[in-house]
Amino acid sequence: MDNVLYDNIITDNPSEMKEKPKPMLKPKLILHVGPQKTATTTIQDLISFNVRSALLEDNYTVVDFNFRMFKRMTKDCFLKFPDERDCTLWDYLVDNFDNEQGGIRNLILSNEEMAMMPINNVTTSLWQNLLDKWDIQVIIFYRPFYQWIYSMYVQHRKNLMFRSGSNVWIELFAREKEVKHFSEWLEDHINSNLVDLRDTLAVKASFEELFGSDRVHILDMMAPHGVEIEFLGNNIVNAVQAREAVERGINATKQNVASSSVIDRMDIDHIIVEGHRQHLADLGRHKLRKTSRIKFEAKLKEWNMTTGDLPRVCPSQEQEEWIWRRTLHAQRMLSRYQIPEAELWEDFSINRKKWCGVDALAVLENSTWREYLSSCEFRKIGCNTDDHNRI
């Protein structure tokens, strides 16, 4: 007699029915990989603090593995030769996964440093081996390119002035060669085809190479319902309890926006660093980067001036056209909520006014500012004989 299928039952003889074994479903491992400046901090605060208990009700555990740990793991494990490789942190991460897997609980790992992860023989082998135990799904966020590229520049410049780990503005003139105005910084990255930036298009291509296109999903930072609902409420994560907690307004989060004060500090810092490069007055030998910036800010205020009154340098027309073309291409390829081109252009035109920064070279060619930076008022030394003797 032919085999007969009765729903989940297979038999050669209907009187001897046996249940068909059901395949075991693997728990999900959600990898939220950024990239940077696409509301990653907002999402990490959301899942790590605001709705963490609600996520447990949705059968999700959040894996605690911060960006500094991932950076170190990349350096020590993913990029080393075999005889130099130290994968202790990788083993620690996988142990964390396995500890939860015994309870058949889904996991979420959110770490924007994953966007910068190299795809090589080491990473391919390590990450693909996890597919034996986990249903890996990769979440990447899209943000309009013109917004994203300038936000990346601001973050880069802030990192050169500020230490987030210790919450201090630095005095040392460290990495001074990297202090550039936006158009100069942009040109470097255009020439390198954004190899060091990793926008959403590039990150998507990397993880499709690693896991296949069916495991890679693009969400939209511009979603009308907000990034929180976009992350929790999509068909992949589908965290019902956590989404309802957000919709009830529990611990709502706000996205970080670069403030005008940070932009002003970037501009004045550029002037101080350029003075250091030129060995102007004492800037060439004293490690007083923050202190010098604060003095310069005070003098601007005393003279009823702002950085907007100083010489400016802006991206070229060719650079703006390059940003616009990539913006249109990225939206067509990635956006879940397409913005009409005319509306997109209007916002682009508003945003590009922010891309001009202080021309530090032109400022220091001005005799008034050179004399001020060389004065004992600015230097706070050399104003009398006693001070002069201590130089």
| Measured distance CA(295)–CA(288) in Å, rounded | 10
The full set of domain ranges for the chain reads: 28-247, 260-389
pLDDT, mean of residues 241-261: 72
**Mutual orientation of helices 200-211 and 317-334 as an angle, nearest 10°?**
40
**What type of residue sits at position 122?**
V
**Given pLDDT bands bounded at 50, 70 and 90, which one contains residue 9?**
very low
**Given pLDDT bands bounded at 50, 70 and 90, which one contains residue 235?**
very high
Looking up tokens 């004399």, which residue turns up? 371
What pLDDT, on the 0 to 100 scale, is given for residue 288? 85
Is residue 270 within 8 Å of residue 358, measured between CB atoms? yes
Q: Specify burial of residue 315 (Cβ count, 10 A radius: 0-12, 13-18, 19+).
A: buried
User: Between the CA of residue 75 and those of 112, 153, 174, 363, what are the distances in Å?
Assistant: 15, 23, 21, 40
CATH match of 28-247 with 2.60.40: no
User: Which residues touch 321 (CB under 8 Å, ≥6 apart)?
Assistant: none
What pLDDT, on the 0 to 100 scale, is given for residue 311? 96
User: Which residues touch 313 (CB under 8 Å, ≥6 apart)?
Assistant: 181, 183, 356, 357, 358, 359, 362
Beta strand pairing call for 9-11 and 18-19: antiparallel
pLDDT, mean of residues 362-381: 87
| Rg of the chain taking only CA atoms, in angstroms | 27
Convert the pLDDT of each residue in 189-222 to its tens digit.
998 877 788 999 999 999 999 999 999 999 999 9
